[in-house]
A and B are shown apart, each in its own frame.
Chain A
Amino acid sequence: MTKLNILTRGIIKENPVFMLLLGLCPVLAVTTQAENAIGMGLATTFVLLGSNIVISILRKIIPNRVRIPCYIVLIASFTVLAKMIIEAYAYPIYQSLGIFLPLIAANCIIFARAEIFANKNGSINSILDALGFGAGFTLALLAIASIREIFGNGSWFGVEIPWLTNNSAMIFTLAPGGFIVLACLLAVVNKISKDNERRKNIDCKTCPNACICGRT
């Protein structure tokens, strides 16, 4: 697998939200405003990058039997680190992310990348992997948040859009709106990602989870 491949597959082919359906709790919770989505995406990317780097460096030192507790300690620490930095330097984002900022520690994307990729690959590849998946997660959040903010609030990044401001559909900013937008986007992504081809010949080559299940 080339370096470019490692970087881009998290964005498109194995997008954590649209393809693997991981980390849906923050996806639904913080995507009411585009600004929050960027903040959450960057915070998650930071934690993912930190944990991937450290775990790939320590992969030969950490004994197999205690690897899960080790990952938990490392990921939780990077989360606390991100929380302290955001609270000190970006208080409005800290307030709007609320409980979902510390909950990054329980985000399964980060844990999955540690277990699937970082503990089997070198630091450079792990950095690329983290950047790719972080970017994929951030872009997915941004896409959902943009739709929800534009139609639900009549604004984008806080800038009001004429006409829509006075005719906003409240449901988009509420929890059901999150599910609806996510489902519609998933349908679109499935349609354009040549999913029909995948459904016709189901095997490991077309499966986005092939590298997780380890049969290949």
Chain B
Amino acid sequence: MINTFVKPILVLTAICLVVSGALAYVSSITTPIINAADSERAYIAMNEKIPNATGFETINLADYNDMPKTIKQAYRTSNDVGNIFIAAINGFSGDITIICAINSTGEIMAVSTLSHTETQGIGTIIEQEPFLDTFKGIDQNLAGVDTVTGATVTTRAFIHAVEDVMTAFWIINN
């Protein structure tokens, strides 16, 4: 009885526990490195989005009430030509991280995907220009932006993230 029912459960549980602990430990070592590399790539991406910016300053998100939870980082440009937001939202499978540049009048300059784990060939539409270009120059009403058939969940999440970025922009610049 003990050998047939209790022991297998105990062994499997013990293995799962030990393994989870080991993975958590390695994750605690690699996550800072991965995050640092991510933010460096993000910085390069920011420079591409607002080429005429002289520099970027981090905005402390904790200073503002009602900031959407999806907003992870926000930056203002030193010469006040716009803001950059990095937002992460739950997509079809896992987080979609986007970077969005908004000019000082509240219009989107450019938006692109930093990282995602959506379905290859379907959700990857959020990396491609035909979809990303529909966001260019629009304001907080998001007129003319729509989900894409076949990748509804992914694109809806993407649009929600852009909406949150807009909300954050008006919270900061009010």
Contacts from A to B (Cβ < 8 Å): 58, 61-63, 65-66, 69-70, 73-74, 77, 80-81, 84-85, 87-89, 91, 98-99
Report yes or no: A77 in contact with B30, Cβ–Cβ below 8 A: no
Which chain B residues border A89 with CB–CB below 8 Å?
33
Assembly CA distance A63 to B7 (angstroms): 7
Number of interface residues of B (CB under 8 A): 20
Contacts from B to A (Cβ < 8 Å): 3-4, 7-9, 11-12, 15-16, 19, 22-23, 26-27, 29-30, 33-34, 37, 120
- Most chain A CB within a 10 A radius of its CB, from B19, B23, B27, B29: B19
Which chain B residues border A73 with CB–CB below 8 Å?
12, 15-16, 19
| A62 and B11 in contact, given A77-B19, A77-B22, A77-B23 (Cβ under 8 angstroms) | yes
| A88 and B34 in contact, given A73-B19, A80-B23, A81-B23 (Cβ under 8 angstroms) | yes
Assembly CA distance A68 to B166 (angstroms): 50
| A74 and B19 in contact, given A63-B11, A66-B8 (Cβ under 8 angstroms) | yes
Query: What's the dominant secondary structure at chain A's contact region?
Result: helix
Which chain B residues border A62 with CB–CB below 8 Å?
11, 15
Report yes or no: A70 in contact with B11, Cβ–Cβ below 8 A: yes
A-B contact pairs, 16 of them (CB 8 A): A63-B8, A63-B11, A66-B9, A66-B12, A70-B12, A73-B15, A77-B22, A81-B23, A84-B23, A84-B30, A84-B34, A85-B30, A88-B33, A88-B34, A89-B33, A99-B120
